[in-house]
Amino acid sequence: MQANAKYGPNGLLTTLKTIENIEFRNIDWYEEKKSPDTLFITLHNKPLDRNPIKVFNLPTIPAVLFYDNKIDRFPVTDAAYNVYESKKIKKNVSEGDLD
């Protein structure tokens, strides 16, 4: 176990909660509006208002399809996870900041 890692209960298991500046938790996209300069890594929990900045895929594997008494192979690539940026918080610029 890492010395700077924090673990917590999750049912009958103990799971990793944080390690340095990385958190492992559920994402509530409405609440995340309060988290500027944050990257979110997820697969199934996708925000509706933005596209991922990067998609990481699993290695391509051959799939086999049997039809019409023939066997056909074709490559399949599934997403491993998606990376999203938090929304930028717009700052009000005052006249003193323009100098």
Give the tokens for residue 89: 């918080």
Q: Identify how many contiguous H helices and E strands the chain contains and give both numbers.
A: 0, 8
The model carries a pTM of: 0.63
Give the tokens for residue 38: 């944050």
Give the tokens for residue 90: 């717009």
Picking from 42, 66, 65, the residue whose alpha carbon sits closest to that of residue 53 is 42
> What integer pLDDT is reported at residue 81 of this predicted model?
92
Q: Write down how long the chain is.
A: 99
| Domain boundaries along the sequence of the chain | 5-88
pLDDT in tens, the chain (99 residues): 566 889 998 888 898 898 888 888 888 888 887 788 888 999 888 888 889 999 999 999 988 888 888 888 888 888 899 999 887 666 655 545 444
Report how far apart, in Å, the C-alpha atoms of 66 and of each of 22, 78, 84, 92 are.
45, 21, 38, 61
